[in-house]
Amino acid sequence: MIIRQRLAAGLCALLAALTAGGLAPTAAYADETDSKPAPQVELVLDVSGSMRARDIDGGSRMAAAKQAFNEVLDATPEEVELGIRTLGANYPGDDRRTGCKDTQQLYPVGPLDRTEAKTAVATLQPTGWTPIGPALLKAAGDFGAGDGAKRIVLISDGEDTCQPLDPCEVAREIAAKGIGLTIDTLGLVADAKTRAQLSCIADATGGTYTAVRHKNQLSKKVGQLVDRAADPVVNPVAVDGAAQCADAPQLKPGLYSDREKFGEHRFYRVDVDPGQELRASVSVADDRAVNQDYGVLLRAVTTHGREIVRGQEAGDGRTDAISTGLRYPRPEADDDDEQSPETVCLQVSNSYSAPASVKTSPGLPVELTVDLVDGPDQASDVAAFGLGNGWWLLLALVVVGFLAGVIWGWLSRWRVAVWRTN
């Protein structure tokens, strides 16, 4: 027994050593965090009277927002400078002019004192109007002049009550300034008008809209958006796909956003040089109630309609998004006549449908990623397909398997010899 235990321990040690050697990184990455400007986030919270409604997991909308803020403040990365602005938190009266000025910065954008920020949030009580447009204008000026990522996370349960200052137009004006500010919106138990307005605000700046009906969902989504500011995320570029390949927009490597109607096909064009590999992926988000059984299809086709490769995914039940991708390695050209780029058409299709009570306009949010990389030099160049140093691990497993077999055979023969002796 002791001999077998020692042999087993030695075998495990050998496996660990070989595996570690196979997976060891080939290069060290420098820590560049000190040279990067701090990302900045401002949470803009609707504290209007409607936030008293008790329809989120048996509690009020305000209670759900406070819980989400406390959890997010605890989890905010150290490198993120975070601030909080409110709208409708102070004026309870009926004077529209006064109510539409009711927005204030509760906590300035900067290094986070979690205790101070939580104390400020704890004092909030649902009070007044919903001046979303004025709050966004003020929030755009709350950020520093640095080059770091800037993001507003707007949480509201109703549409703006301070027209004619249209918050969609305000968001477009902010985007036109070119300051790199993204606005994400979350609708708490939002009706159709609120959903449309919040979606419009997000779309104008390359942000996202999310419908929220549960406390945990709110906490998770706000946390994701704050974390996104800390990561080197590229904001998607708005693009308008076409109904046929001939009219499709020309795309370069990058991240793109679009909207696609239920059951629609949209086309985009990409030029692929000889020896390059086209990599593309698409995500379609169901930002409203949809019927079960749905799918998304991404096809690469020639300009004449011949399919090259496809990626597809399907599902049923409730989900936030569904994604798929494809890869097309174009071989090196043997003939000088084939050195010109090949135009590949990317077709994005979905099979979503919605209940009769659900508004289908605007279309579903689509996020499309396009990349062009050097293709494999030869069929054996497995690294180009993502295996890389995995050959070390494969070799280690083969060696360990061989040694394990030899040792196990020796143990078996030893046990038989001992049994015969006894």
Residues 120 and 269 in one domain: no
Residues 294 and 175 in one domain: no
Compute φ and ψ for 28, nearest 5 degrees.
-95, 145
Percent of the chain with pLDDT over 90: 49
| Run of H or E including 298 | strand 294-301
Q: Are strands 181-188 and 150-156 parallel, antiparallel or unpaired?
A: parallel
Domain annotation covers residue 8: no
- Strand-pairing partners, residue 368, are 256, 282
Residues 345 and 397 in one domain: no
pTM equals: 0.54
Tokens of 398: 């083969």
Tokens of 142: 């709350």
What is the rounded distance in angstroms from the CA atom of residue 410 to the CA atom of residue 422? 19
What is the rounded distance in angstroms from the CA atom of residue 207 to the CA atom of residue 216? 21
- Looking at the predicted structure, is the pLDDT value of residue 299 above 60? yes
Q: Which of 21-30, 38-47, 157-166 has the weakest average pLDDT? A: 21-30
Domain annotation covers residue 9: no
Packed helices 192-204 and 132-140: angle between N→C axes, nearest 10 degrees: 20
Find the mean pLDDT for residues 143-165. 87
Residues 66 and 209 in one domain: yes
Domain annotation covers residue 17: no
Find the mean pLDDT for residues 39-57. 94
| Number of C-beta neighbours around residue 403 at 10 A | 15
pLDDT at 302: 94
Domain annotation covers residue 202: yes
| Number of C-beta neighbours around residue 247 at 10 A | 10
Residues 172 and 268 in one domain: no
Domain annotation covers residue 18: no
Give 422's pLDDT tier (boundaries 50, 70, 90). low
Residues 412 and 311 in one domain: no
Nearest residue to 267 via CA among 292, 239, 245? 245
What is the rounded distance in angstroms from the CA atom of residue 153 to the CA atom of residue 182? 9
Residues 214 and 74 in one domain: yes
More confident residue, 357 or 420: 357
Give 354's pLDDT tier (boundaries 50, 70, 90). confident
- Looking at the predicted structure, is the pLDDT value of residue 224 above 90? no
Average pLDDT of the residues of the chain: 82
Residues 189 and 121 in one domain: yes
Give 410's pLDDT tier (boundaries 50, 70, 90). confident
Residues 341 and 420 in one domain: no
Find the mean pLDDT for residues 401-412. 74
- Looking at the predicted structure, is the pLDDT value of residue 21 above 70? no
More confident residue, 83 or 292: 83
Q: Give the number of domains in the chain.
A: 3
Sheet containing 276-285: which strands, arranged edge to edge? 237-238, 254-260, 364-374, 276-285, 321-329
pLDDT at 318: 66
Q: Which residues contact 260 (CB under 8 A, 6 or more apart)?
A: 241, 266, 284, 348, 350, 363, 364, 366
CATH label of the domain that carries residue 269? 2.60.120.380
CATH label of the domain that carries residue 154? 3.40.50.410
Find the mean pLDDT for residues 24-32. 41
Residues 164 and 51 in one domain: yes
Q: Which range is most confident: 57-71, 159-173, 197-211?
A: 57-71
What is the rounded distance in angstroms from the CA atom of residue 136 to the CA atom of residue 157? 16
- Looking at the predicted structure, is the pLDDT value of residue 340 above 90? no
Q: Which residues contact 359 (CB under 8 A, 6 or more apart)?
A: 192, 196, 288
pLDDT at 110: 93
- Looking at the predicted structure, is the pLDDT value of residue 6 above 50? no
Give 392's pLDDT tier (boundaries 50, 70, 90). low
Range of the domain at 144: 38-230
Measured in residues, the chain has a length of 422
